[in-house]
Amino acid sequence: MSTAALYNDQGAAEAAVEAGQETTPTSSSSGAAFGLFSTDFKKNEDLKEMLESNKESLKLEAMKRIVQLISKGKNASELFPAIVKNVASKNIELKKLVYVYLVRYAEEQQDLALLSISTFQRALKDPNQFIRASALRVLSSIRVPIIVPIMMLAIKEAAADLSPYVRKTSAHAIQKLHSLDPDQKEQLIEVIEKLLKDKSTLVAGSVVMAFEEVCPDRIDLIHKNYRKLCNLLVDVEEWGQVVIINMLTRYARTQFLNPNINESLLEEGSGGEKMFYGSDEDEDEDEKEKKAEAAAIAKRKPYVMDPDHRLLLRNTKPLLQSRNAAVVMAVAQLYFHLAPKAEVGVIAKALVRLLRSHSEVQFVVLQNVATMTIKRRGMFEPYLKSFYIRSTDPTQIKVLKLEVLTNLANETNISTILREFQTYIKSMDKDFVAATIQAIGRCATNIGEVRDTCLNGLVQLLSNRDELVVAESVVVIKKLLQMQPEKHSDIIKHMAKLTDNIQVPMARASILWLIGEYCEHVPRIAPDVLRKMAKSFTNEEDIVKLQIINLAAKLYLTNSKQTKLLTQYVLNLAKYDQNYDIRDRARFVRQLIVPTEKSGALSKYAKKLFLALKPAPVLESPFKDRDHFQLGSLSHLLNAKAGGYQELPEWPEAAPDPSVRNVEVFTLLERVTTLTSVPEWTKCSSREKRKEKKVEKPFYSDSEGESGPTESADSESDSASTTDSASASVSEESESGLESESEEESETEEEEEDKKEKKNQKKEPKKPVQESESEQSSEEEDRKPEKRSKKLKSDSESDSVEDEGSESESSPSESEDFESEAVVTKKKKAAESKPPSKSVRKEEKKEKKEMSLLDLDDFEPTPSPQVTPVNTLLSNSLATDLEGLSLSDSILSPATIIPSGALKNYELLHRITGEGLSVEYCFSRQPFSPDANMVAVQLQFTNNSTSDTKNLHMEDVRLQSGMRVKEFPEIELLPAGEMTSAVMGIDFCDSTQAANFQLCSHTKKFFVSIQPPVGELMRPVFLTENEFKKEQGQLMGMNEITEKLTLDVKCRNEHAIVQRVTTAANLSRVPCGSDKECSPPVPPPDYPVHRFAGRTVTSSSLVLVTVATREEGAAQLMVNCEKMVIGTMLVKDILLALTQ
Amino acid sequence: MIHSLFLINASGDIFLEKHWKSVVSRSVCDYFFEAQERATEPENVPPVIPTPHHYLISVLRHRIYFVAVIQSEVPPLFVIEFLHRVVDTFQDYFGVCTEAAIKDNVVVVYELLEEMLDNGFPLATESNILKELIKPPTILRTMVNTITGSTNVGEQLPTGQLSVVPWRRTGVKYTNNEAYFDVVEEIDAIIDKSGSTITAEIQGVIDACVKLTGMPDLTLSFMNPRLLDDVSFHPCVRFKRWEAERILSFIPPDGNFRLLSYHVSSQNLVAIPVYVKHNITFREGSSQGRFDLTLGPKQTMGKAVEAVLVSSQLPRGVLNANLNPSQGTYTFDPVTKLLTWDVGKINPQKLPNLKGTMNLQAGASKPDENPTINIQFKIQQMAISGLKVNRLDMYGEKYKPFKGIKYMTKAGKFQVRT
């Protein structure tokens, strides 16, 4: 032993030291390291001297060498006294290295460590935030129980520090203290509670981390901070995002209702899973009952999503684009666990993207994808090819990809998948080949159509040269044959022949079992096989021996004439076997099958026992039911509960009170801290300040910066409900309904407060007409923003005029919009010289009100001079950010983009032609998330017949070249009398060519076609008036079409024109058209010009529409579009809309 | 969260350890070594290994295992992503991330790790911030430090850390203001025996090298942004602007960074720039196999295909290969059975060809698997998806920067099945 020799050289003392350290048995370089160490050890003496010298550079040199020792895992604890003296050094690097040392060894040298504490206590008061923070970091890292009170004090102080960086550090320290002394929990929770209120993005991630560590069950602490966290999320650093998202997932599970409640209950009855794995065809009665019950429930109480739930989904979605795989995964699991079924699809693309990353990332992502594919197969189907296996993939990745491919297999894609599997079987990686064969087996069991093909393929593999391949195939074939043995006696015969060649025990055992089980199908061969086996019995593996006994017993029972002696022989051999299991089995079998006087009643049933019909095996994915663990978690990956794992709670039966999340007082006290550290969104308090600091505008949350994040949810809900009251039209199910309900709920609670508020308002001295009251209040709100949130709530349910008030408070940009509108109204009023009679005026007022509400609907932030900062660039980006906000939200967008008027429904399939099934479709005008180039078409299926319709899907899509269709997910079941809807996407290639396809149910097929009106081939874009004019200037000549018209009598006011145009075409209104303040009065103010803009969906060509009104209802319509065909058709459509 | 970190080299030595909480004994790595032994290939070591009291999460980069010790539930990707970030940082600091480089810079490594994690929770991972906290070692600075006694540890809190643009520090100054963008696209493809494409995808990145004074605000727009199917951004990119206008608007970090990575979906037809004609056969009963491989350009839009490298894992039965390349050089490793052929540039007039015989083990039966051919290549000045940058504008600063855009197409995982 070379090391032993070295030990001797070094002397016993050193050897002991060394032995203590070298705990790793495998460190093969210990010899070399040892040589090094001997010099190190000697130098340790001079290290002490160096540390005690006066020269900084020497000290630093010493510390560097000590760090080197630590990094190698060597013990340097005896230097502690010498080092701890340097803790107060002026040299920052030296100080830091001393910190490193301290943190490492303080636990071992507690008494000495205490010497350093006072230094840190002093540093905690340092004016430099950096020094304060690092002092707290080190102080809290010293794991010495005695200093717990000091730490507690330091944490409390730091939590109130002006610097967010120090507060962040204090959040980290909370966890350290908690792990050091769990008794401090209560006090620490107080600090956490305080820090949770912190508005800095820097602190948010760390404090949630501390929350998760210390008190993950105190969900009540989150309520008040929920909306803030949601809104801050994009600006939090990436690691914090992961922790916050995971926590919010759990939170949402306790606070909101299951968005898939209706579907999931239905699913239980005859969901997709059953189709896939279901072998038990008999659907029991009570399940049916349950289903009916569920359907009844669903009818009684339509699901509405809590706006806070929506807020969470909306604010996490952009993070799917993060470069950090952990963030993407966190969002993906959030969507998987929380989002409505229809929306989960968005995560697939992002997860597939992660597959390009490092192999470790791939490994984790694939595990999660595998789990997801079982529940939501459709989600990943379009990405099937991304899971194809490359020969260079590591085996563990290959196996996981195989798992995903198997889960994705269905009737339509099985042939491609099987072809792909065929190449895999030829791989050199034998483990992978074995896994492939298993996968083929699973596909065969799951998809009846290909069972025979698979079986044939596997039988061919039996002649493969590689024994492992053959063995694996045998095992899989055995399982397949068990499903329908009658048909395949020739395969059984073929396999019987293989017993001579195959040596792999498992395979031999499988063949023997198969022959024994189906010996009636192969009456001639079976005894012969037994004969051969009896000969080689003693040399077989245990597992094979057991099956030989099994075979012998079964043959004895069915064919005792031929096999009696053989069986006796085998049983005798087994009786003296070395393995007691085999001896036991032999004894047991003998007693059971060979009739003697002593044999009990059981032997009568021997045949029944041995030859009972065995249920076919179910080949299941190992990932089935793994989703009861939160996806993306360590526990999910290991499929076992890891320490500290927080169970994902089940959805509550009834939604807990949503009002707990309302924030009562919105403090706008700005902390006077360093310039940069001001939490961004508190700045909305004063405009001047915002202007000063606009350079540091937060990146994503500009819009939040405009309106206090705590309110944004409310404001949106308000706007939506106003939309309702104004136009009573938006037919979108979820949002609007939901909001009104949630409001109603909160109404009762806040009624009292509301009354008080009203009283206050009455007390206010100046009370002009109602209208100006709202205006006034809105102005007042601007001046007193502290009151905002309170008022907001109270106003929201007061009468409609006050509603306007609340509207204007909710976000400055909107309020200005409204204000300016109000000013217009005022001016118009002033313009009218003769005061009209009261009733007339009232009427007019109503009309005006409607108009202004409508403009709010349009939601284009009007760049009124008040908001426009000096820098136009920023104002632009602000506007686009706001626009982005509205566009990115698929559910809310209809409320903002579609002005009014129900979406027009078209008939796809009439009730009569569809034999009871009727289908209607409409263009929902929502962005189609899987493919932005597609137009979303919402289909509504109604089953008017008396029987259920199953498996509604699309087939045989015939399209003009270039067009593409994204099919709607198959509808598994549409019970009689029920309705359901689905969304499909069609890329019409900017043409009005129809998309023809077949709509298939489980029994029938119908030819249908969808032809889009030209107005649906575009999506609205936001342009300012100047941009509009500029673009218009470039689309002259051939691209411009002008038409004169006389407006319909009912369509002479602004409101009606806007409504009709936007109903005819999916365009957005260009603001400022009639606003005299913004543009010099080029058009005479009495005859406003309305402008609308959009882009075609596929090619993104601009579509500009101008309606210029003249006297007496005359008007001019102008359409500018690069695509002349679209332009011409659009002119016709709009003309029709305006004149009828 | 992350309790400890061990670095283990290819021969199984733990050459660095760092603990953020109480010390975890090295012996915990035994479980890792066990798993390593079970796995036949180094990359087959499971990334997550449960042990009785801890969990080991590891990544393999540059033949070094970075093993993190975890004690309780944590998203595995969180740790994996962090470890990769650590490696990236090392690479950024030392140029390479090798055992030698890490050992030479142990002190810097320790200082870095100390800043990156606090109590196991990531603190500062943005390289710009780290570089302000700890200056990267350069020869010059090391010399200066030894003479003047100054240190390479920053004394102030990095300016970026607290601002809303944490990725950029204030007070950046350059004499030559320049911004370069490299659009690099990689083609991942599987081509089947007959030459038809089974799957092909384009993965692209835009790497930027921005050296601009002050706080520039850049916008980058594309001629055809709709090509980009799935994108992920550097945190600096304003997401909403992209959603609304398909324009990249950002305040760039200082220096090198990856602005964007994107995916061009397989639905769009991918142009495959090279084709392979192959004839690799083994005859039953003969101890020789034939090998014939020809490469040719296809759909390259007139650009030359360069730096072509063909590699193939030949069946285990092959003893040696006796081949004759028409250009370039080939090597065959009889131990790993790896054949590599460094072709160089493809000349469309005279297509490169590799032809000859393979000798099989005597008496061995014909291998039933056929080798897969992996191809690497580069095409300069072309993005295969057709993506084109329209323009780059700068706001917020007065000067006029020098701007440059470079396109390149590379083979990613490009495989031809035979």
Is domain B2-148 given the CATH code 3.30.450.60 in the classification? yes
d(CA B247, CA B244): 8
By the CB < 8 Å criterion, does B336 face chain A?
A: no
Is domain B274-380 given the CATH code 2.60.40.1170 in the classification? yes
- Per-residue pLDDT band for A882 (boundaries 50, 70, 90) equals very low
Residue of higher predicted confidence among A183 and A878: A183
- Closest residue in B to A694 (Cα) is B164
A905-1012 and A44-259 share a CATH fold: no
Nearest to B183 by CA among B380, B339, B318, B396: B380
Class of domain A1016-1074+1085-1139: alpha beta
By the CB < 8 Å criterion, does B144 face chain A?
A: no
What is the DSSP code (8-state) at residue B167? T
pLDDT at A787: 44
Candidate from A143, A350, A363 with C-beta closest to B22: A143
CB neighbours of residue A741 within 10 Å: 13
H or E element in which residue A909 lies? strand A905-909
pLDDT at A695: 40
By the CB < 8 Å criterion, does B80 face chain A?
A: yes
List Cβ neighbours of A381 (8 Å cut-off, separation of 6 or more). A408, A410, A413
Range among A311-325, A922-936, A1063-1077 with highest mean pLDDT value: A311-325
For the cut 90, the answer to whether the pLDDT of residue A349 exceeds it is no
- B269-298 residues touching A, CB cutoff 8 A: none
Taking CB atoms and an 8 Å limit, are A56 and B166 in contact across chains?
Answer: no
pTM of the complete model: 0.65
Residue of B66, B81, B153, B202 to mutate, interface with A, max A Cβ within 10 Å: B81
pLDDT digits (tens, 9 = 90+) for B309-341: 999 988 888 888 888 999 889 999 888 888 999
pLDDT digits (tens, 9 = 90+) for A512-567: 888 888 888 888 888 888 888 888 888 888 889 999 998 888 888 888 788 888 88
d(CA A651, CA A260): 10
Residue type, position B323, single letter: L
Cα–Cα distance list, A89 to A69, A743, A1028, A1138 (Å): 21, 62, 65, 82
pLDDT at A875: 40
ipTM: 0.91
B274-380 and B178-270+382-416 share a CATH fold: yes
The torsion angles phi and psi of A394, rounded to 5 degrees, stand at -65, 150
Min Cα separation A86/chain B (Å) = 16
Candidate from B1, B146, B370 with C-beta closest to A426: B370
- Closest residue in A to B365 (Cα) is A465
d(CA A623, CA A370): 6
Taking CB atoms and an 8 Å limit, are A390 and B201 in contact across chains?
Answer: no
Range among A327-341, A663-677, A770-784, A1097-1111 with highest mean pLDDT value: A327-341
* Segment A345-360 mean pLDDT: 88
Q: For chain A, what percent of residues have pLDDT higher than 90? A: 7
By the CB < 8 Å criterion, does B224 face chain A?
A: no
- Per-residue pLDDT band for B267 (boundaries 50, 70, 90) equals low
For the cut 60, the answer to whether the pLDDT of residue A883 exceeds it is no
* Segment A872-898 mean pLDDT: 39
- Closest residue in A to B13 (Cα) is A27
Taking CB atoms and an 8 Å limit, are A887 and B244 in contact across chains?
Answer: yes
Domains in chain A: boundaries: 44-259, 485-612, 905-1012, 1016-1074+1085-1139
State the sign of the Cα–Cα–Cα–Cα dihedral A620, A625, A627, A633.
negative
* Segment A443-457 mean pLDDT: 84
* Segment B341-360 mean pLDDT: 88
Secondary structure class of A918 (helix, strand, coil): strand
Min Cα separation A140/chain B (Å) = 9
For the cut 80, the answer to whether the pLDDT of residue A43 exceeds it is no
DSSP A1021-1076: ----HHHHHHHHHHS-GGGEEEEEEE--GGG-SHHHHHHHHHHHS--EEPTTSS-T
Q: Picking from A12-16, A1028-1032, B68-72, which range would have the lowest pLDDT averaged per residue?
A: A12-16
pLDDT digits (tens, 9 = 90+) for A275-320: 444 334 444 444 555 555 555 554 556 677 888 899 999 999 888 9
For the cut 70, the answer to whether the pLDDT of residue A599 exceeds it is no
pLDDT at A891: 37
H or E element in which residue A43 lies? helix A30-52
Q: Picking from A189-203, A697-711, B237-251, B300-314, which range would have the lowest pLDDT averaged per residue?
A: A697-711
pLDDT at B181: 93
Range among A142-146, A1035-1039, B379-383 with highest mean pLDDT value: B379-383
Instruction: List CB contacts (< 8 A) between A94 and chain B.
Output: 151
pLDDT at B154: 56
Residue of A18, A22, A24 to mutate, interface with B, max B Cβ within 10 Å: A24
Class of domain B178-270+382-416: mainly beta
pLDDT digits (tens, 9 = 90+) for A718-727: 444 443 444 4
- Per-residue pLDDT band for A794 (boundaries 50, 70, 90) equals very low
For the cut 60, the answer to whether the pLDDT of residue A34 exceeds it is no
For the cut 50, the answer to whether the pLDDT of residue A430 exceeds it is yes
Q: What is the dihedral of CA A680, A682, A687, A688, to 10 degrees?
A: -70
DSSP A701-769: THHHHHS-HHHHHHHHHHHHHHHHHHH-----SHHHHHHHHHHHHHHHHHHHHHHHHHHHHHHSS----
pLDDT digits (tens, 9 = 90+) for B366-390: 776 778 899 999 999 888 888 889 9
Candidate from A361, A638, A676 with C-beta closest to B48: A638
Residues written for chain A: 1140
What is the DSSP code (8-state) at residue A599? -
Nearest to B308 by CA among B318, B298, B316: B298
- Per-residue pLDDT band for B232 (boundaries 50, 70, 90) equals confident
Domains in chain B: boundaries: 2-148, 178-270+382-416, 274-380
- Per-residue pLDDT band for B47 (boundaries 50, 70, 90) equals very high
For the cut 90, the answer to whether the pLDDT of residue A363 exceeds it is yes
pLDDT at B143: 61
- Closest residue in B to A630 (Cα) is B75
Q: Which two tokens stand for residue A307?
A: 């706006």
pLDDT at A718: 41
Min Cα separation B71/chain A (Å) = 7
- B86-125 residues touching A, CB cutoff 8 A: 106-107, 109-111, 114, 118-119, 121-123, 125
pLDDT at A890: 37
- Closest residue in B to A642 (Cα) is B73
Taking CB atoms and an 8 Å limit, are A239 and B30 in contact across chains?
Answer: no
Q: Among the CATH numbers 1.10.3720.10, 2.60.40.1150, 2.60.120.260, 3.30.1330.30, which is that of A905-1012? A: 2.60.40.1150
pLDDT at A262: 67
Taking CB atoms and an 8 Å limit, are B157 and A133 in contact across chains?
Answer: yes
Q: Picking from A5-14, A230-239, A748-757, B82-91, which range would have the lowest pLDDT averaged per residue?
A: A5-14
State the sign of the Cα–Cα–Cα–Cα dihedral A151, A154, A156, A161.
negative
By the CB < 8 Å criterion, does B148 face chain A?
A: no
- Closest residue in A to B33 (Cα) is A26
Cα–Cα distance list, A122 to A101, A131, A155, A175 (Å): 20, 10, 14, 23
pLDDT at A129: 83
Q: For chain B, what percent of residues have pLDDT higher than 90? A: 23
Secondary structure class of A1008 (helix, strand, coil): strand
Q: Picking from A278-292, A355-369, A397-411, A617-631, which range would have the lowest pLDDT averaged per residue?
A: A278-292
pLDDT at A675: 33
Taking CB atoms and an 8 Å limit, are B47 and A363 in contact across chains?
Answer: yes
Taking CB atoms and an 8 Å limit, are A93 and B13 in contact across chains?
Answer: no
Beta pairing, strands B178-191 & B402-416: parallel
Residue type, position A1034, single letter: Q
Instruction: List CB contacts (< 8 A) between A133 and chain B.
Output: 157
pLDDT digits (tens, 9 = 90+) for A92-129: 788 888 888 888 888 888 888 888 888 888 888 888 88
By the CB < 8 Å criterion, does B8 face chain A?
A: no
- B228-257 residues touching A, CB cutoff 8 A: 229-236, 238-241, 243-245, 249
pLDDT at B81: 93
pLDDT at B406: 92
* Segment B253-274 mean pLDDT: 81
- Per-residue pLDDT band for A600 (boundaries 50, 70, 90) equals low
Taking CB atoms and an 8 Å limit, are B159 and A172 in contact across chains?
Answer: no
Residue of B162, B184, B233, B261 to mutate, interface with A, max A Cβ within 10 Å: B162
Q: Are B188 and B414 in contact (CB under 8 A)?
A: yes
Residue of higher predicted confidence among B80 and A20: B80
By the CB < 8 Å criterion, does B84 face chain A?
A: yes
Q: What is the CATH number of domain A44-259?
A: 1.25.10.10
- Closest residue in A to B47 (Cα) is A360
pLDDT at B151: 56
